[in-house]
Structure 1
Amino acid sequence: MRDVSLWRGLLGLEKTVLERVEFDEEAEVVVAHVRPVKRQRGRCGVCRRRSPGYDAGPGRRRWRALDLGTIQALLEADMPRVRCRVHGVVVAAVPWARHDAGHTYAFDDQVAWLATQASKSTVTELMRIAWRTVGSIIARVWADVEVAHDRFAGLRRIGIDEISYKKGHKYLMVVVDHDARRLVWAAPGRTSATVNEFFDLLGEQRCTLITHVSADGADFIDTIVAARCPAAVRVADPFHIVKWATDALDEVRRGAWNDARKQARREPKRGRGRPPADAPPRPGSELAKGLGGARYSLWKNPENLTEKQQTKLAWIATTDPKLYRAYLLKEGLRVVFRLPYHQASEALDRWISWARRCRIPAFVKLQKSVVKHRHRILAAIEHNLSNGLIESTNTKIRLITRMAFGFKSAEALIAMAMLSLGGHRPALPGRN
């Protein structure tokens, strides 16, 4: 193998003329002087159309290539400018790097692969770059992937949800494909404009092909889906519906606990030391103490309760019938989602009737929301569809968010999430 061919293979060069290679002993870097082959010259750096030359540009510049063992490698070349009929005067394209990038294709691809596989410190230490630079590289790589692949192709059943990614009420709106089980779109914000942005990208023709849309109980999402995808079945996520019941139960528990604490404050205080055997009972204090540790006994599913939590639940049933009735209402709604469709419809109506006359304000209010979303709840049972996949995706995005601290924009976080969860993970350079 000739030296030129060897160097081109080591540096990952294609459609490039290698003029010479130098070793800078002082900086301990290898500098390869290169130029594009004749057919690759005089092209717009943005669209890569052939364009007339404009000037010689700012002179020569360098690009970072993959390290050669422990030694850094750089490419150096002229940077002429061309006049594109679409983009105006821009720097000419080069075959070894993306437009306006300071790293080669191979370097960018390896950084993107590492970012989806390794920790933040591993990427920055191994590649010898700042974490903010990683964010810029990921955004560039995802932009190329997005151009090469139609991520909206074949969408039929989708799930929509939002996730907090930063303090200060910063949210991402997330869309997943239930059939391909992948993330297809994400954007900052959780407003009607954000959801409409997705359907604008999808297009009117593809909107008519959507058959099912699952979401939480947000009215603005339901309204937009009804307008943009009128033929789609709108499904209410069972997880969120049961969460509403859990929140209502917790509201009742907190009210009972606060009432017990108020009663305990009105009881006479005891002196120091062990109380005498004939001391009067202190029901308020005992009740407040017991309810203080009852949260998880009420929240957890009955089949997952420990022996101690089962004892706590039995104690609640005898000491606070109202709170125990609220617990049964929560469990009754959860059971509805386990029934076949023909049984669930009747069971849901019975639950609504029970909640309407239970005389517990939190559940009387909840049944109004359940009545409002009744057809969507039954659709979730009939089609066996939920936002479980999107909740799993959100959990993975939260892990990615912890890595993405230091990125200057949400776009870099979204690009990292799309590369990791969108079904188009980058490959290592030189691998098939």
Structure 2
Amino acid sequence: MGEDVNDPQAEGFDAAFQRTQALLQGRQPIFEAAFRAEGALALADVLLPVGRGSKRGWRMVEVKSSTSVKDYHRDDVAIQAYVAHAAGVPLTAIALAHIDSSWVYPGGGDYQGLLLENDLSDEAFSRADEVRGWIAGAQQIVARQRAPKVAVGKQCGDPYECGFLAHCQRQLPAATHPISWLPGRRSNALQAHIDAHKLTELKEVPDALLNDSQLRVKKATVTGKPYFDRQGAAQALAAHKLPAYFMDFETIQFAVPIWPGTRPYQQIPFQFSVHRLTRTGKLEQQAFLDLSGNDPSLAFAKALLAACGERGPIFVYNAGFEKARITELAGRFARLSESLLALNERVVDLLPVARAHYYHPSQQGSWSIKAVLPALCPDLRYGDLDGVQDGGMAMAAFQEALSPTCSPARKAEIERQLLAYCALDTYAMVRMWAVFSGKTLEENLV
């Protein structure tokens, strides 16, 4: 039980400050308490009453969705403590609570143990002078007639993207071929050279600082001519004979688990598509999708084993993801463990083949399947799909389908969209395999 301060965004900060002061006269926990002092304001996640009589005070708890304490969390806590103290709150302690990613939900609505608390009282209280300096510095900048001249750099995205980043970037000359398209550019020597010479164009980067992959990207981008090592790609895939399977998963993760036996942020697979290409060139597809709201894991695992057969390569794109999910399923379901792990032994990753042997200027430094596919197979475009067009949208659609407010008609629409999206992922791999292998498909079935 506790009292919640009104949302300052909806009802105004003055109302939030006034309600906080009123609630501080009581002894109930307070959520989203609002303080202002010395030209600064702060919102506290939780205030808990402590002590009695003349020793009454409050303990503050800041709650983060991360799985560890970050340096910027420590700054946040120091600011919260300073503003609360300056506003006259008798703050006796301050802690930061974050999610314990190793905790397993036992079910039944029992979430005890989900959060780990870290007492940061001594550290936060000792940084008062430092925080006072931050506030003064910020006020000086706000009082200026012109924005300070600060070059766009790493600080603009650390720890989060600055709200003014797009504004500042608009002041920069537009690059024809931005250096951001160069993969792996964060090596010390390369990035130091880029920063020192304020380079913006890919063509300005010296070849001597680039590895083979970066050189291919630079050459293809500047010349506008794709790179395709057909012989190398075909050789990389030659050992993998038909029948072959092409597999893709969609997953969901919850900060607060909803299914017993699962952990915070655990990737739970709820959908797969598997295309099977026979020795005669026949293409078949099997799909799994569970929108029931129950834990889909066991049914997913059983259906996957049935869809993938017992022999033949299983092609994926970015093998680490699918193999990790299979390993996790094997750990949860002992009776299926041996069969599931056997699938991992058959997995063949198409991503390294693409990285080593193909690059098109339109990829703009990315080898994601959504960047490679339209270059390699222009007739296939994720943008043509209705509704769900990427993994993030698939997660959002799945969550919407699980909501009690989702109508049957909308749920059926989501089902169609998810099935079409995942099917395109695996069909895309079939087409990529065909191009890289130098083969043609007798049937173009999705």
Same fold (TM over 0.5): no
Instruction: Point out which structure has higher relative CO (alpha carbons under 8 A, 6+ apart).
Output: 1
TM-score tier by shorter-chain length is: under 0.3
